[in-house]
Amino acid sequence: MEGLAKVSETGVDLLYSEVEDDLRASVRALLADKSPAASVLARVETDQVTDTALWKELAELGVTGLPIPEELGGAGVTLREASVVAEELGRAVSPVPFLGSAVLATSALLALGDTAAETLGSLAAGETTAALAIPLATPPDAAFPSSVRAVRGALTGTVTGVVDALTADTLLVPAVRAEGPELYLVSTADVDRSAVVSLDLTRPLADLELTAAPARLLASGADAEQALRSALIAGATLLSAEQLGVAEWALETTVEYLKTRNQFGRPVGAFQALKHRLADLWVVVSQARALVRNAAGSVALGHEDAELNASLAQAFVSGAAVKATEEAVQLHGGIGFTWEHPAHLYLKRAKSDAIALGTADRHRRALARLVDLPVQ
C-alpha cells in the first residue's frame, strides 16, 4: 500500500524530450531509407532475416549502445531514450537484434558492473552482438532458469526460443551449479544453435544446445539473480515501447487506407461504424503511450517501482498492439489478408510480443502481487 502512494508522488516525466525527438527522427529516417516494409518482407524468407548491415548503420547513430557508459564507447543515455528507439524499430518491424542484444544482454551486463566492460565496449561499437540465453517467453518474475548446468566452468543443457541468438557472437547464459544460480559468458562458436520457425517472421528465435561449452563466470548467487531480473524488467519495459510503435503503425496505416478506399461511392472511413472503431483505437494507443513513457521513465531513474510499471505497461500494451494490428488486417479487407501487404508482419510481431517476456495474464498476476490485490 505504501508502494501505491509512491507511484503517484514520483511523477515521471511522460513527455518526449528534444533529445528524444531528434533521436527518433534520425532513426526513423534511416529505417525509412534502409529498411522499408517491402525489403523487410523480402528478407523474412531468406536465411538472413537479421539485417546485420542495418545494425552497423544503427551503430553509427549510437543505437547499439544507448545505455552503455560513454567511457566504454556507449552513448551514455538511459533506457528512456532507448525506449524511443524501440518505438521506431517496432514501427518498422525492423529485423535487428535490438531487443536481444542492446536491451536484454546489455542490461544484464550493465547490472554486473565492470566484469564485462570489454564485451560491452564491443557491443556498443556494433562490432559484436550478444543474446541472453533464456526463452523469450520468460516473464520478469520467473524463477531463475535451471535448464543449463555448470560443471567445472563448462555448461551443458538446452535453452529454447532465444531471441537474436542466431546472429550473436556472445551468449549470456544463466546456469545452475550446486551452489546456486550463476551467469556465464559463452562464445556462440561453442554452442549448437538451430533456427526455430517463428510466428514473428521478423524476429528469429533459436534453440541452443550446450555440451560442456567453455564458459566464463560473470556472477553468482544474488548478483546473478539480480542481473537477470533487471534485464527482464528492462526488456519488458522496452518491449512495451516496441509494441506501442507497432500499434501506432497499424493505426496510422489503417486511417490512411480508410480515407482513400472507396466502396458504396464514398471513402469507407466515412462510415461511422469504422470511425468509431478507429477513434477507440486511438484512445487505446494514447493510453498505451502514457504507460510506456511511465515505465521507461521509471526504469531509467532506477525507481523501485520499475518492475510494477513494467508489468503495468505489459499488461495493457500487449493487448493494445494485438488489437491495433488485428483491426488493421480486418479493415484492409482482402488486401490485409495477403502476404504482399505488410500488415501481417505487424500482426505476427504483435501476437508474438504479447507472449514475449510474459503474457498480459502473467503481468496482471505480477501486478496483483506488487500492489497487494490478492485473489482471495
Ligand X SMILES: Cc1cc2nc3c(=O)[nH]c(=O)nc-3n(C[C@H](O)[C@H](O)[C@H](O)COP(=O)(O)OP(=O)(O)OC[C@H]3O[C@@H](n4cnc5c(N)ncnc54)[C@H](O)[C@@H]3O)c2cc1C
204-263 residues near ligand X, rule: CB under 6 A: 261, 263
Asked whether position 337 contacts ligand X by CB under 6 A, the answer is yes
Element (H, E) at 159: strand 154-163
The span from the first CA to the last CA of the chain, in angstroms, equals 17
Question: Is the separation of the CB atoms in 271 and 258 below 8 Å?
Answer: no
Rounded least distance, CB 311 to ligand X, Å: 34
Asked whether position 333 contacts ligand X by CB under 6 A, the answer is yes
Q: Which of 3, 11, 53, 13 is nearest to 33 (CA)?
A: 53
Element (H, E) at 276: helix 272-300
Separation between Cα atoms, residue 370 and residue 89, nearest integer Å: 30
Cα 11 to the chain's mean position, in Å?
24
| Per-residue DSSP letter, 127 | S
**Packing angle, helices 306-331 and 2-10, rounded to 10:** 70
Q: Interface with ligand X by CB under 6 A: which range of 139-147, 235-243, 246-254, 328-336?
A: 328-336
Rounded least distance, CB 92 to ligand X, Å: 24
Asked whether position 16 contacts other proteins by CB under 8 A, the answer is no
At 202, the amino acid letter reads T
Rounded least distance, CB 257 to ligand X, Å: 8
Asked whether position 339 contacts ligand X by CB under 6 A, the answer is no
Strand-pair category, 154-163 with 148-151: antiparallel
Q: Which is nearer to other proteins, 324 or 329 (CB)?
A: 329
Residue of 302, 330, 339, 361 interacting with ligand X (CB under 6 A): 330
Q: Interface with other proteins by CB under 8 A: which range of 227-235, 283-291, 300-308, 321-329?
A: 321-329
Asked whether position 338 contacts other proteins by CB under 8 A, the answer is yes
Separation between Cα atoms, residue 16 and residue 235, nearest integer Å: 20
Q: Which is nearer to other proteins, 137 or 290 (CB)?
A: 137
**Binding stretches for ligand X (CB under 6 A):** 261, 263-264, 268, 271, 273-274, 330-331, 333-334, 337
**Binding stretches for other proteins (CB under 8 A):** 45, 135-137, 160-161, 196-201, 205, 262-266, 268, 271, 273-274, 322, 326, 329-330, 333-334, 336-340, 343-344, 347-348, 351-352, 354-356, 359-362, 364-365, 375
